[in-house]
Chain A
Amino acid sequence: EAGVVQSPRYKIIEKKQPVAFWCNPISGHNTLYWYLQNLGQGPELLIRYENEEAVDDSQLPKDRFSAERLKGVDSTLKIQPAELGDSAVYLCASSLAAGGLGMQYFGPGTRLTVL
């Protein structure tokens, strides 16, 4: 069974530039998450989708971050414009429907460097 797929794996951009990350969850997983992980810290949730609906985006900085999951499968996370402090690893995870026991599986992540 294929795992969570993310691209790109690495991205280096200048500050104020836009950037987008793509995620394809495990087949059959209705719930998709975007996390941010800073060095030496655990992942922090940015947004959670149940199918197409964003059900928890309270931690998403909405002035510069946006996300979409149009057909309830793939998702894109965008930052515009990027700031120096956005340098981090962006992780996508997926799980079975919300009524389950919460096991989440992570993709390889995208390491973003903002110069």
Chain B
Amino acid sequence: QKEVEQNSGPLSVPEGAIASLNCTYSDRGSQSFFWYRQYSGKSPELIMSIYSNGDKEDGRFTAQLNKASQYVSLLIRDSQPSDSATYLCAVNRGYGNNRLAFGKGNQVVVIP
């Protein structure tokens, strides 16, 4: 079992719609969770962090964490063409062990 799994294929959403991305992780001891956005040919850019169960909102982005079920999700509201990118889920094993395990990413395409 991979540490972090993002299994969905490319996601196409119309402009203005909600894009929903999911991620599961295997290590129950994981403490912190991140979403990175990566444009084609560019490096990952941190867009969201979440540390406790529940929802965290930042602008049009909402991260959701459920530690009991070991999943993290990202919602992008009012999707814009500029949101077209690959979104990487990353999980940190915990304090004093800053090793991020990444999923392979999900590509989002926002159709104008």
Partner-B contacts on A (CB < 8 A)? 31, 33, 40-45, 48, 56, 89, 91, 95, 98-109
Contacts and interface: CB of A to CB of B under 8 A. Distances in A.
Interface residues of B, number: 25
Contacts of B102: 42-44
Nearest to A6: B43
Contacts, number: 62
Contacts of A99: 95-96
Give the residue among B4, B31, B46 with the most A Cβ atoms within 10 A. B46
Given A48-B99, A98-B98, A102-B98, A42 B32 contact: no
A45 B3 CA distance: 13
Given A42-B105, A101-B32, A56 B90 contact: no
Q: Interface on chain A toward B: helix, strand, loop, or mixed SS?
A: loop
Interface of B: 4, 31-32, 34, 36, 42-46, 49, 51, 88, 90, 92, 95-100, 102-105
Contacts of A109: 43
8 contacts: A31-B98, A40-B105, A43-B100, A43-B102, A91-B43, A91-B44, A104-B98, A106-B43
Given A40-B104, A42-B90, A95 B98 contact: yes
Contact of A41 (B46, B95, B99, B104): B104
Contacts of B32: 101-102
Contacts of A98: 95-98
Contact of A102 (B34, B43, B88, B104): B34
B79 to A, nearest CB: 22
Contacts of B105: 40-42
A54 B7 CA distance: 33
Given A91-B43, A108-B43, A102 B100 contact: yes
